[in-house]
């Protein structure tokens, strides 16, 4: 028998709200009863659960490069992942590495963020050649830092090298440097 | 209560009626087919409420064995509303399993040194390499919101608080990001 079609599909945002416990009890119950009678909506809901499991797995393997928050870093640490963290002030530099048993590299760029609307993060090589620009990164100004996770396999593959990061406040057409940060990377050589 | 998503699958009902009408256990074909149809739906219910693959599989076995037993014994009063019956069973068995798994968690904590810190990954249903590429293709805010949401399935209020955004804003970013991510992962089949 083939998968039956649904006559009154649950809207996707409602399925998302259901999965994330955002619906009230009565509505969640309606959705659940529907799903238990419906192949099509269950398949859609399952695809959401699969995305969720996939994201969790990628983060746990240190395979995601993203701007996050301090509270998120605490959540991944709580799951038992081994973090290597570097905190750098504006204008600062740090010698850094990544050990074989580290799971996730966390970089904290301190910056005065009060009153700033939009921030870009530039990553360049030692000569200043731009490698990547993270546009309009999310941040909590009160935290006074931008927190970045890097992709572990990429970091492990890096030779000894220097990497530059720059935070830029963007207001319309104008840009203002908030801080420059220098990372002197060395491959892991053991303790 | 009027369920706006009311759904009764005529094929489920027909199978349930066949099982109820047959000599107990004699219509193996109908029982196998009903099991095949209901298993993914009950499994998803289990994932939602127990957040654990193994527990969800246990739920499938228990709920469907009980459902078949009741059908064989003619104890399902409205076979045409099978989803409601299965829903009731799921709720009851989930309570039992929660207690069982709470005991298991306590044992795991006691013997934490003997087991791996990270929980075993669920069987991947997604190409994680593709998912990683698709995450890279999102805007920074979309990627951050999706990762912070789905890493451990947090609602918009938690994510909004961490990023100093409004809940409405987080939901908009989440919705847009999910649409783009699903389209990318499925090659445009999701929309």
Reported as a single tens digit per residue, the pLDDT across B16-33 is 999 999 888 789 999 999
Please classify residue A160 by burial: count the beta carbons closer than 10 Å to its beta carbon, then call 0-12 exposed, 13-18 middle and 19+ buried.
Answer: exposed
Asked if A29 and A95 sit in the same domain, the reply is no
- Return the pLDDT at B93: 95
Helix (H), strand (E) at residue B92: helix B82-110
Interchain pair B48, A18: CB under 8 A: yes
Asked if A55 and A66 sit in the same domain, the reply is no
Asked if A40 and A117 sit in the same domain, the reply is no
Average pLDDT of span A146-154? 94
Q: Residue A6 falls within a domain, yes or no?
A: no
- Return the pLDDT at B116: 42
Confidence of residue A4 (pLDDT cuts 50, 70, 90): low
Name chain B contacts of A123, Cβ cutoff 8 Å.
none
Asked if A48 and A68 sit in the same domain, the reply is no
Q: Residue A5 falls within a domain, yes or no?
A: no
Name chain A contacts of B140, Cβ cutoff 8 Å.
66-67, 134-138
CA atoms within 13 A on the CB side of B9: 28
- Return the pLDDT at B59: 95
- Return the pLDDT at A3: 62
Helical segments of A129-168, H only:
152-157
Q: Is residue A186 predicted with pLDDT exceeding 50?
A: yes
Sign of the four-CA dihedral A179, A185, A188, A191 = negative
Q: Is residue A141 predicted with pLDDT exceeding 80?
A: yes
- CATH number, domain at A108? 2.60.40.10
Asked if A77 and A51 sit in the same domain, the reply is no
- Return the pLDDT at A191: 63
Mean predicted lDDT score pLDDT of chain B: 86
Mean predicted lDDT score pLDDT of chain A: 93
Asked if A71 and A55 sit in the same domain, the reply is no
Q: Are B97 and B50 in contact (CB under 8 A)?
A: yes
Average pLDDT of span B135-161? 96
* Residue percentage of chain A with pLDDT more than 90: 90
Where in the sequence of chain B do the CATH 1.10.10.10 domains occur?
A: 128-185
Domain count, chain A: 2
Q: Residue A3 falls within a domain, yes or no?
A: no
* pTM score of the predicted model: 0.86
Average pLDDT of span A72-87? 94
Sign of the four-CA dihedral B19, B24, B27, B31 = positive
Asked if A43 and A74 sit in the same domain, the reply is no
Alpha-carbon gap, residue B20 to B38, rounded angstroms: 17
Helical segments of A10-105, H only:
12-19, 25-35, 39-60, 70-78
Where in the sequence of chain B do the CATH 1.10.1740 domains occur?
A: 10-112
What end-to-end distance do the CA atoms of chain B give, in Å?
32
CA neighbor of A159 nearest in space, from A108, A125, A122: A125
Asked if A46 and A67 sit in the same domain, the reply is no
CA B181-B182-B184 angle, to 5 degrees, is: 65
Domain membership of residue A32 as a residue range: 12-59
Interchain pair B154, A20: CB under 8 A: yes
- Return the pLDDT at B121: 40
Pairing of the two strands A174-185 and A118-125: unpaired
Distance from CA of B83 to the nearest CA of A (A): 5
Which phi and psi angles does A64 have, rounded to 5°? -120, 130
Among A124-133, A173-182, B19-28, whose mean pLDDT is lowest?
Answer: B19-28
Average pLDDT of span A119-129? 95
What separation in angstroms does the CA of A184 have from each of A100, A120, A163, A165, A181? 18, 22, 7, 12, 10
Name chain B contacts of A104, Cβ cutoff 8 Å.
none
Asked if A166 and A129 sit in the same domain, the reply is yes
Pick from B5, B140, B181: which is nearest to A51 by CB?
Answer: B181
A16: nearest CA partner in chain B: B175
Greatest Cα pair distance in chain B: 63
Interchain pair A45, B44: CB under 8 A: yes
Chain B contact present for A153, CB below 8 A:
no
Name chain A contacts of B126, Cβ cutoff 8 Å.
50-51, 53-54
Average pLDDT of span B140-154? 96
Q: Is B46 helix (H, G, I), strand (E, B) or coil?
A: helix
Asked if A28 and A81 sit in the same domain, the reply is no
- Return the pLDDT at B71: 94
Interface of A with B in 24-53 (CB under 8 A): 26, 30-39, 41-43, 45-53
- Return the pLDDT at B119: 41
- Return the pLDDT at B50: 93
Residue of higher predicted confidence among A177 and B101: A177
Interchain pair B41, A65: CB under 8 A: no
Asked if A55 and A68 sit in the same domain, the reply is no
Q: Is residue A92 predicted with pLDDT exceeding 90?
A: yes
Residue of higher predicted confidence among A5 and B82: B82
In sequence order, the 6+-apart residues with CB closer than 8 A to the CB of B136 are A65, B143
Give the CATH architecture of domain B10-112.
Orthogonal Bundle (1.10)
CA A166-A168-A169 angle, to 5 degrees, is: 160
A37: nearest CA partner in chain B: B83
Candidate CATH numbers 3.40.50.720, 3.30.70.1230, 1.10.10.10, 3.40.640.10; the one for domain B128-185: 1.10.10.10
Asked if A176 and A136 sit in the same domain, the reply is yes
Summarised one tens digit per residue, pLDDT across range B66-124 is 999 999 999 988 888 899 999 999 999 999 888 887 777 776 666 554 444 444 344 45
- Return the pLDDT at B26: 86
Interchain pair B148, A46: CB under 8 A: no
Q: Residue A179 falls within a domain, yes or no?
A: yes
Interchain pair B41, A38: CB under 8 A: yes
Q: Residue A2 falls within a domain, yes or no?
A: no
What separation in angstroms does the CA of A79 have from each of A48, A98, B77, B119, B149? 22, 20, 46, 9, 16
């Amino acid at each position: 028998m083939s998968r039956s079609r649904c006559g009154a599909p649950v809207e996707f945002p409602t399925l998302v709200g259901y999965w994330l416990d955002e619906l009230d009890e009565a509505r969640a119950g309606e959705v659940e009863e529907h799903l238990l009678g419906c192949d099509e909506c269950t398949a859609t809901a399952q695809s959401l659960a699969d995305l969720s499991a996939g994201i969790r797995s990628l983060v746990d393997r240190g395979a995601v490069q993203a701007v996050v928050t301090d509270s998120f870093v605490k959540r991944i640490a709580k799951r038992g992942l081994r973090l290597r963290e570097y905190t750098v002030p504006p204008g600062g530099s740090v010698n850094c590495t990544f050990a074989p048993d580290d799971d996730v590299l966390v970089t904290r760029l301190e910056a005065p963020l009060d009153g700033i609307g939009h921030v870009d993060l530039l990553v360049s090589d030692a000569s200043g050649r731009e490698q990547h620009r993270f546009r309009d990164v999310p941040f909590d100004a009160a935290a006074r830092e931008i927190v970045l996770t890097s992709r572990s396999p990429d970091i492990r593959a890096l030779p000894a090298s220097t990497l530059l990061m720059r935070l830029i406040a963007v207001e319309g057409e104008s840009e203002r440097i908030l801080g420059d940060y220098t990372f002197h990377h060395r491959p892991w050589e053991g303790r | 209560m009027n369920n706006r998503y009311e759904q009764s699958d005529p094929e489920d009902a027909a199978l349930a009626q066949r099982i109820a009408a047959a000599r107990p256990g004699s219509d193996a074909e109908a029982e196998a087919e009903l099991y095949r149809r209901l298993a993914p739906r009950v499994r998803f219910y289990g994932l939602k409420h127990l957040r654990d693959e193994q527990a969800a599989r246990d739920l499938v076995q228990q709920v469907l064995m009980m459902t078949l037993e009741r059908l064989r014994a003619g104890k399902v009063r409205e076979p045409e509303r099978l989803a409601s019956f299965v829903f009731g069973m799921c709720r009851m068995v989930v309570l039992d399993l929660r207690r069982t798994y709470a005991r298991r968690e306590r044992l795991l904590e006691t013997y934490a040194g003997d087991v791996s810190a990270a929980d075993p990954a669920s069987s991947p249903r997604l190409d994680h390499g593709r998912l990683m590429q698709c995450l890279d293709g999102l805007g920074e805010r979309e990627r951050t919101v999706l990762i912070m949401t789905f890493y451990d399935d947090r609602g918009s209020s938690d994510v909004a608080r961490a990023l100093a955004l409004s809940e409405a804003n987080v939901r908009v970013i989440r919705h847009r990001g999910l649409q783009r991510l699903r389209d990318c992962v499925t090659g445009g089949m999701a929309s």
